[in-house]
Amino acid sequence: MKEAIGRHSSMKYRNLGKSGLRVSCLGLGTWVTFGSQISDEMAESLMTVAYENGINLFDTAEVYASGRAEITLGNIFRKKGWRRSSFVVTTKIYWGGQAETERGLSRKHIIEGLRGSLSRLQLDYVDIVFANRTDVNSPMEEVVRAMTFVINQGLAMYWGTSRWSAMEIMEAYSVARQFNLIPPVCEQAEYHYFQRDKVEVQLPELYHKIGVGAMTWSPLACGLITGKYNEGIPECSRATMKGYHWLKERVSSEEGRRQLAKIKELHLLADRMGCTAAQLAIAWCLRSEGVSSVLLGVSNTDQLVENLGALRVLSQMSPQLVNEIDSLLGNKPHSKKESRA
């Protein structure tokens, strides 16, 4: 994947899959913060620091904070007055509202949902619209045709998938080729030390076959990798929030305890390298083949500045260091070629 360093920052830029779109290798996500957990002032500070440090990718979704994340993002874009051509906005369609027709991937909801997102974002178009999850009630041809329509109408530049299986992505590509429609360019997938198979085995194969890239999220495994849960579950952590009972159970499980033990060893490795555990984890994600961009989820500017330091650590990710991390984790997935070998 061609990579270039920015003219005015140390940010690295990569092509989104095999498309011509250049995105910063670190992007700013708005998942659990914008419109809910942090003030609008802090959201503006985060976006300003991100943009000034070369981040050109801002990710949101119609469902984040019930649409308030998009509103916050749009207000900041309008206030800052940045050239629209200088940044990339992505949103996801699936969960739009309470009515039966306000969710899913029907042609109706894809088009109406995206128009709703554009209204909240105060934008004429988004750069990428993602189909978030697959919808058993919508035929694949309908989804691909609807995505082709919104691109042809100028409401989006590209479309991608989020949390789709490799088989589903391949089906979407085949449908696009069969009917001369537009195929997806990117998959959004969870990726961190403990979630590896899809991004390291399945997506590289898709990248080489059909040009689909990877935009990954949760590089710190919802904060697990930072060590915040090493001594139990803090009062104000995400694991105590409404709707995050699954995270609390994950941390408290037998597997969670094994992961926490490995995280303590990874902290020692980060200390030896002179970086933080978060920086090491993000750099580790960035070194993976086919990863166009890693989305950061932060709630204050100190966290963002720390995470940006992963770019410095990326240059230290030698094969020896990667092998050391693999040995420590003990969960390296094997591709079909390696299995046959």
Active site residues: 64
**Residue whose entry in the numeric block shows the structure tokens 């976006």:** 47
Instruction: Tell me the C-alpha distance between 127 and 205, whole Å.
Output: 25
What is the b/e burial string over 30-66, where b = at least 16 CB atoms within 10 angstroms of the residue's CB?
Answer: bbbbbbeebeeebbbbbbebbbebbbbbbbbbbbbbe
Instruction: Tell me the C-alpha distance between 1 and 17, whole Å.
Output: 8
Residue 201: HSE in the Cβ half-sphere, 13 Å Cα cutoff: 14
Please, are residues 79 and 50 in contact by the beta-carbon 8 Å criterion? no
DSSP state of 73: H
> Which residues are paired to 227 by β-bridges?
none
Q: Quickly count: other Cβ atoms within 10 Å of residue 74's Cβ.
A: 19
Please, are residues 76 and 43 in contact by the beta-carbon 8 Å criterion? yes
Give every CB contact of residue 172 below 8 A, 6+ residues apart in sequence. Answer: 140, 143, 144, 161, 164, 183, 184
User: CA-based Rg of the chain, rounded to a whole angstrom?
Assistant: 20
> Which residues are paired to 156 by β-bridges?
126
Helix spans in the chain (H): 40-52, 68-80, 107-121, 140-152, 166-178, 197, 203-210, 245-252, 254-273, 277-286, 301-308, 310-314, 319-329, 336-340
Cα distances (Å, whole numbers) of residue 252 to 7, 133, 241: 46, 28, 15
With CA atoms as reference, report the closest residue to 308 among 31, 39, 53, 96. Answer: 53
